[in-house]
Structure 1
Amino acid sequence: MTALKKYQKLECTGLWRSAPEAQRREVVVSFGEASLTMSDPRTELALSHWSLPAVERLNPGERPALYAPGADSDETLEIEDGDMIAALGTVQDALVWIKPHPGRLRTTVLAGASLVVLLLGLFWLPGALVEHTAAVVPPATRAEIGRMVLADVIRLTGKPCVEPLGKRAADRLARRLFGNGRMTILVVREGVLWPVHLPNHQILFGRSMVEAADGPEVLAGHALAEQLRAQAQDPLIPVLEHAGMAATFRLLTTGELPAEAVDGYAAGLLRAVPPPVPEDALMARFTEAGVAATPYAFSVDETGESMLGMIEADELRETPPQPVLQDEDWVSLQGICTK
């Protein structure tokens, strides 16, 4: 890291492509302590994060320099800036010593690699490695891990219900609560006793919960509570904890998580009791979303006793806010699993 201090806060422009068929997009490239970040120059929103150790140059010696977050990645980045190219070259040079090289003393290489693993094991793993990896995983990789987790869940629950009008109603509920493109609500036929959150911004409900709910405010409340749980702990973290140290380290260094690393994760996910959400934070989120909290409170405790504070603080229970869903959409959502 000492060799990289002069590159701290280094930025340049580049051309980023999210997939081979996608158009190139101008981005601001930021060189950080452990990651390379591509951001929209107008909104400053991060579009992708690459782990520095995983960055590979695809055209050594040519300009513009072409990079990818791993040889098998769909993403690419073109850079003309000499300082940024030098910085990335320094990272790659610093990693050369841990790779095997014909003609060098094998014992030295193995000893160095073993020392790195030992130091990581003593001073960084497992918690810090998992948290750091979750923080730098790019959105495309996070989405792929989410699809892997969903595939593991489907083995226990069956595929998400897709009755067209019900699916449209679920999408409308997600937009009403979270805005466009920020969250997806899925409903499965069995196996889900309470909502669960996947790493790629998906919330799963069980069919029985949807059909038994007194109104859309109940589902809205549980979805908002699940969002706060996801904010309190990144849903990717327990996935990586299940995957183990070796798979997490591979994800950090290569940008790939082995598909078998998530096998069996769904069984624990569906059994786990959701942790409580602080009432003050939950009430603030209900108010922000314009959703009455009382229906949710009674769905958690039908007597209302343990949720009395939330019920009494619900200023929207007397004055109905903007509807969470129109009546016809709510009927459609309750029938999402009829086909």
Structure 2
Amino acid sequence: MTALEQYERLESLGLWRATRSEQRREVLVSFGKATLIVSDMADRPLTHWSLPAVERVNPDSMPAVFRPGPDAGESLEIDDETMVDAIEAVRGSIARAEAKPGRLRYWISAAILTAGIGAGAVWGPGLLRDQALLATPDARRAELGARILGHMQAQTGAICRSRGGLVALDRMRARLLGPDAPGQTVVLPAPLPGPVLLPGQITVINRAVLVRYDDPAVVAGEILAAKANTTDPLRAVLNFAGLRATVHLMTTGDLPPGTLADYAASLIEKPQAVTSEQALLQAFASVGVPSAPYADLRTARGQNAALLLTQSPDAGTPPSPILTDSEWIQLQGICDA
């Protein structure tokens, strides 16, 4: 039995702070497959922390204080000794597993790869990916997406979490995608080459879009562009990772060590597939948002934008506001904690 299997049903209370300037709030703490899940008292997830990146701020003191990575403003205080010991044990177990795969894992990996090569020869890599996608439930996709996000944060810094900014971002997301849309939208403080859609419907945009363009329609365009991308975000991971990772996911429910970190690095370096203008126009029209402001950003990235300018859905009619002026100011300051 692994350390995670021993503790995977363990839950405890904790005190979570989204930023250094905010008040602590009582939360529920539980384990995902390789994440620490922080939920509100109604059991709605507030954030996922990648367990390999979690750090303990005060190793010799109680209550224990954890953070999701170096220099993160987010923190979690836990005084349940069983949960604290579990977090330490699971983090250590994951670190050892990634650092020293061991002979057994080597032979298992070799067997999986051999089986994958054989299956790939019969079915083809495309069909294998299709089968892996069908076999991966939504909860597992959300965990994989959260782990990728954790690796991205290790390079860019923690996601931005000012209270007013989060409220405004949630309102924009509800306005564009619907109040019950699955997943979440987050802002990273470092530049990205484009919007990112991760497994679990996690949309990632970057702070530069908020401060360089003084129009909420541009930020709306990033969210709509990610959503309108027709490629399954988990398929994008498997296309990047290759046949061995696909078979590993089918047989173990997880991806090989290092795969998600490598994929996260690739997202920071180059954009995902660019959404077509026609798909974007339909997305803008469906929510009554002008597309012309987003054309400036597309042009700056060297992407086609002529249709967004000439066929903007707002032509001749005033669009309904995406956010109020005060909400837009709050969203622009989401990284100012």
Query: Would you say same fold, with TM above 0.5?
Result: yes
Matched with 2:232 is 234
In 2, the alpha carbon distance for the partners of 1:274 and 1:251 equals 22
Q: Which moved more, 1:138-147 or 1:242-251?
A: 242-251
Other structure's SS at 2:204 match: strand
Report whether the alignment pairs 1:155 with 2:154.
yes
Matched with 1:200 is 200
Report whether the alignment pairs 1:275 with 2:270.
no
Matched with 1:338 is 336
Q: Is the 8 A contact 1:193 1:209 kept in 2?
A: no
Matched with 1:126 is 125
Other structure's SS at 2:290 match: coil
Q: Paired residues, what number?
A: 229
1:81-137 deviation line (CA, Å, top 9, x unaligned): xxxxxxxxxxxxxxxxxxxxxxxxxxxxxxx99995553131334332123212331
Matched with 1:75 is none
Q: Is the 8 A contact 2:113 2:244 kept in 1?
A: no
1:227-282 deviation line (CA, Å, top 9, x unaligned): 111xx211112322344433422321333335543122111112223433332222
Matched with 1:27 is none
Q: Is the 8 A contact 1:157 1:188 kept in 2?
A: yes
Q: Is the 8 A contact 2:139 2:200 kept in 1?
A: no
**How many angstroms does 1:189 deviate by?**
0.9
In 2, the alpha carbon distance for the partners of 1:173 and 1:20 equals 35
**How many angstroms does 1:163 deviate by?**
0.4
In 2, the alpha carbon distance for the partners of 1:282 and 1:114 equals 39
Matched with 2:101 is none
Matched with 1:212 is 212
Letter in 2 for 1:227: K
Q: Is the 8 A contact 2:193 2:270 kept in 1?
A: no
1:180-215 deviation line (CA, Å, top 9, x unaligned): 233422111114232111111111111111111221
| 1:57-72 to 2 correspondences below 5 Å | none
Letter in 1 for 2:137: P
Matched with 2:176 is 177
Report whether the alignment pairs 1:308 with 2:288.
no
Q: Is the 8 A contact 2:112 2:244 kept in 1?
A: no
Other structure's SS at 1:316 match: coil
1:274-300 deviation line (CA, Å, top 9, x unaligned): 433332222121111111111111332
In the superposition, relative to structure 1, how do residues 245 and 167 fare at CA in structure 2: closer, same or farther (>3 Å)? same
What's the Cα RMSD here?
2.9
Note the residue ranges of structure 1 that are not aligned, 5 or more in a row. 1-18, 22-111
Normalised by the length of structure 2, the TM-score is 0.61
In the superposition, relative to structure 1, how do residues 164 and 252 fare at CA in structure 2: closer, same or farther (>3 Å)? same
| 1:250-329 to 2 correspondences below 5 Å | 250-258=248-256, 260-301=258-299, 307-329=305-327
Letter in 1 for 2:128: L
In 1, the alpha carbon distance for the partners of 2:292 and 2:176 equals 17
Higher-Rg structure is 1
Normalised by the length of structure 1, the TM-score is 0.61
Q: Which moved more, 1:290-299 or 1:121-130?
A: 121-130
Letter in 2 for 1:206: N
Matched with 2:58 is none
In 2, the alpha carbon distance for the partners of 1:238 and 1:188 equals 20
Matched with 1:249 is 247
Q: Is the 8 A contact 1:148 1:259 kept in 2?
A: no
In the superposition, relative to structure 1, how do residues 189 and 119 fare at CA in structure 2: closer, same or farther (>3 Å)? same
In 2, the alpha carbon distance for the partners of 1:301 and 1:247 equals 36
What percentage of residue pairs aligned between the two structures are identical? Answer: 33
In the superposition, relative to structure 1, how do residues 127 and 320 fare at CA in structure 2: closer, same or farther (>3 Å)? same
